[in-house]
Chains A and B, each alone.
Chain A
Amino acid sequence: MSGRSTPAPPTDIHDLDPQQFLEEVHSFDFWFEAVEGYLSGLTHGHKPDTPEAVLGDVERDQLITVLCNYCVGETAALEGASGLIAIAPNRLAKVFLSTQVVDEGRHLEVFLHRLRDLGVADPDSEVERRASRSLQLFKRRLLELVAGKDWEAAIFAQNVILESLEFAVFHSHAQTADPITREVLSGVVKDERRHIGFGENELGRRLRVSPHIRSRIGQVKKELDHLVLETLEETMRHLGSPRDEHERLGRAYLESVERLGFP
């Protein structure tokens, strides 16, 4: 939004001192400028005039299953991110998570809308019917971590593991999806990138000053990895992706978590 000006912006935001940098990037204005760039002119995540592709019955049914599971993942992310606000250690983290809450709510809304476009009359019950067991278990565990007010473990499960899983799957799916689904996924992926950045930054700083939390987070990773890999496998199967793509995505997910030093 052009008029959402900031006084005398520096040439590079990374030149700001750390606190000022966080004040800037964890603000409503920063969020809006980021999303306005790619959501402006879209309706329910895609351009209004993007043509609907003709899908065969099997292809359509597989897409519905995949979208239903995206809805499960986004509901987990919405409930997780909103619960994290209460335990966030400072105002800037709370404001950032509020922007994430609305992002996750938007993702859920655009996927539900896409299901309706594909002829699903009652998306809520369809989601319940087709939800993957491993993803539901993941959601339950994530919300337990949030309810247990374990900030580091919950932010790791939410903004590193779940967001990395979604990023990997959505990015891969967008390469082969029909035009409307591709546009919807592209916007979602851009949001996920921001969320992962927050998670890595927040955890990275904490791990530097309190290295003892590493072992606790390592336990959470061990516990959740197999659920993530099962979910990946299942989704890729529904999308009809080749075997090597499943493996590539599994590796991409593990690598993104490894960046934080969790092999």
Chain B
Amino acid sequence: MADFLSAYSIQTWLESCPQGYLMETEYGHKAGEAEPELLLTNEVLREETIRSTVQLVVGERCALAASSGLINAAPDEGSKRFLATQTLDEARHVEVFTHRLYDLGVRKNELETVIKQYANPNLVKFAEILLEKVDRKDFIAGVVGQNIVLEGMAFSVFEMLHALSQQMNPKFAHTLSGTIADERRHVGFGENRIGSLIKEHPEKKAEIEGMQRDMSYFMLATFADAFRNNRAAAEFDQLNVGRARADYQGVDLSTMAPEAMEDVLADTVLKEFKTRLGRIGLEYQTPTRP
């Protein structure tokens, strides 16, 4: 375990993350980059962008609370130190997505009200399930919930948003590139560290699998709300603004209806869960589709 954890040391993190892929960035993107004019001037698009960014802030606040809370529950120093780097990664994500809200015109004194107004209740329930495990200092369930389920979901969502933004919003695409690189590291730690702990505590399997099923349900419900009630696609059509090609999981998202995009995202995340849970010795539980 010591050798595996040395790949997750703070020294390695310093060299690869802040001194590596975050060099020359400002709040996650290149200096001087701005949101596209259309997003700032069209009220429907601006509101939908604020709504989707709020979900990212809510998810990252949950990740920050979970990763910092898990430090005190970690059974070894190496895991504590990895989680220290993850804590700062998550705080950075909170910061960069919060800044995006400011860039979209949210005033600083309105921030919490805007977050409360737009936070998806299903995403809040998703977060509550995880934070309940963290509060109980349940390290194994906490890491599976945080580094496999939450981070696995975030990774796929960020990749989809990145594909959609690459041509149309380079600023946001650059912000997402850094967060994707962070999430990849977090998911890797979860898989590597938890496998051995699950073997030592087989009695915990059923409870953790139940947590995965419940979290997955609320994740799918969040996706359903986000895609089915999203007015952005219709607004783009009405404005007759062509959407740039966006390749994701072998499909071109620019040609798809929101419901079809929801299916692609949900299938991608659930498939990832199945693979990753299998690697650590857990059986994937199929959630009800909302």
- Residues of A whose CB lies within 8 Å of any CB of B are 1, 3-7, 19, 23, 27-29, 32, 36, 39-40, 43-44, 75, 78-79, 82-83, 85-86, 91, 94-95, 97-99, 101-102, 104-106, 108-109, 112, 124, 143
Contact = CB atoms under 8 A, between A and B. Distances in A.
Interface stretch (B83-91, B227-235, B247-255): B83-91
B84 A105 contact: yes
Given A3-B31, A109-B9, A28 B25 contact: no
B90 A6 contact: no
Interface string B1-17: 00000000111011000
B72 A1 contact: no
A78 B25 contact: no
A85 B87 CA distance: 9
Nearest to B24: A3
Contacts of B31: 3, 5, 7
26 contacts: A3-B31, A4-B25, A23-B108, A28-B95, A32-B18, A78-B81, A83-B68, A83-B69, A85-B65, A85-B68, A85-B87, A86-B68, A98-B87, A98-B90, A99-B91, A101-B68, A101-B88, A102-B84, A102-B88, A105-B85, A106-B11, A108-B77, A109-B11, A112-B77, A124-B77, A143-B72
B27 interface: yes
B80 A105 contact: yes
B197 interface: no
A121 to B, nearest CB: 11
A102 to B, nearest CB: 4
Contacts of B212: none
B92 interface: yes
Given A104-B84, A105-B80, A124-B77, 4 more contacts: A1-B19, A29-B27, A98-B90, A102-B85
Contacts of B94: 91, 94-95
B88 to A, nearest CB: 4
A82 B81 contact: no
B26 A101 contact: no
Interface hub of A4, A40, A75, A101 (most chain B Cβ within 10 A)? A101
A44 B9 CA distance: 10
A94 to B, nearest CB: 6
Contacts of A7: 31
Given A43-B11, A79-B72, A4 B87 contact: no
Given A4-B24, A102-B87, A36 B64 contact: no
Contact of B18 (A36, A85, A91): A36
- Shortest beta-carbon contacts, A-B, top 5: A105-B84, A98-B91, A3-B24, A82-B71, A85-B68
Interface hub of B65, B76, B88 (most chain A Cβ within 10 A)? B88
B84 A19 contact: no
Contacts of B84: 78, 82, 101-102, 104-106
Given A95-B91, A108-B81, A109-B9, A86 B24 contact: no
B98 interface: yes
Interface string B86-115: 011011101100100000000010010000
Contacts, number: 115
Interface hub of B27, B80, B87 (most chain A Cβ within 10 A)? B87
A260 to B, nearest CB: 26
A185 to B, nearest CB: 17
A187 B24 CA distance: 23
A86 B19 contact: no
Contacts of B71: 78-79, 82-83, 101
Nearest to B72: A79
A75 B25 contact: no
Given A28-B92, A98-B91, A78 B19 contact: no
Contacts of B19: 1, 36, 40
Contact of B98 (A1, A3, A91): A91
Nearest to B28: A28
Interface in B18-71: 18-19, 22-27, 31, 64-65, 68-69, 71
B91 A4 contact: no
Contacts of B10: 102, 105-106, 109
Given A5-B31, A94-B64, A101 B14 contact: no
A3 B80 CA distance: 31
A71 to B, nearest CB: 8
A191 B100 CA distance: 29
A79 B19 CA distance: 25
A86 B88 contact: no
A44 B85 CA distance: 15
Contacts of A39: 14
Contact of A94 (B77, B80, B91): B91
B255 to A, nearest CB: 37
A4 B24 CA distance: 5
Interface string B149-173: 0000000000000000000000000
